[in-house]
Amino acid sequence: MNHRILFGSYPIPRFAGIASHNFVVWTDETGRPLYEINGGAANADGSFNYCAIRGRLTAVVTDYSKRDLIYCPEFYVRPTSRTTLLLEGNYTSIATKWRAAVDVASRIRASGLIYSFLIQNSNSVATAIAEGMGLTPPSAAVGRVRAPGSYRHLALDQAA
């Protein structure tokens, strides 16, 4: 098996699993996660706000070798998460795409956009990350009820 970029969805228990939190993950040839990108709101100290109602929109790149759950959440390893293959290839081709994803995450963090549960949120971030790599989010993981905000195109400064 090659390295892969997967688009993930985690059904949010608080919303009866109907609405989901979307994310993007890079796995190695054994299926082990290497990196993950999650969107959401940041607390004032920069940590990830798991129960956000408001805050600054952020995109967090998790390095699975470091495992800092306060600042870098992990959703790929949760048993209820579902994933869809976006791209499979050798290390170099996936690393090139991932670099583009990290660049988009950086632009999101610098954007000053405000988190909104229904408008710009984790799902907006996951969509922007996938599109920033030139990939299309899977239709099964997007939708106004299933993934609020997934259709939102974030206004990001290209130079950031």
Residue 104 and residue 127 in contact, taking contact as beta carbons nearer than 8 Å: no
pTM of the predicted protein model: 0.89
Task: Kindly provide the b/e burial profile for residues 11-28, where b requires at least 16 CB atoms within 10 angstroms of the residue's own CB.
Answer: beeeeeeebbbbbbbbbe
**How sure is the predictor about 130, in pLDDT bands with cuts at 50, 70 and 90?**
very high
For position 87, what pLDDT does the model report? 97
User: For residue 103, is pLDDT > 80?
Assistant: yes
**How sure is the predictor about 144, in pLDDT bands with cuts at 50, 70 and 90?**
low
User: For residue 160, is pLDDT > 50?
Assistant: no
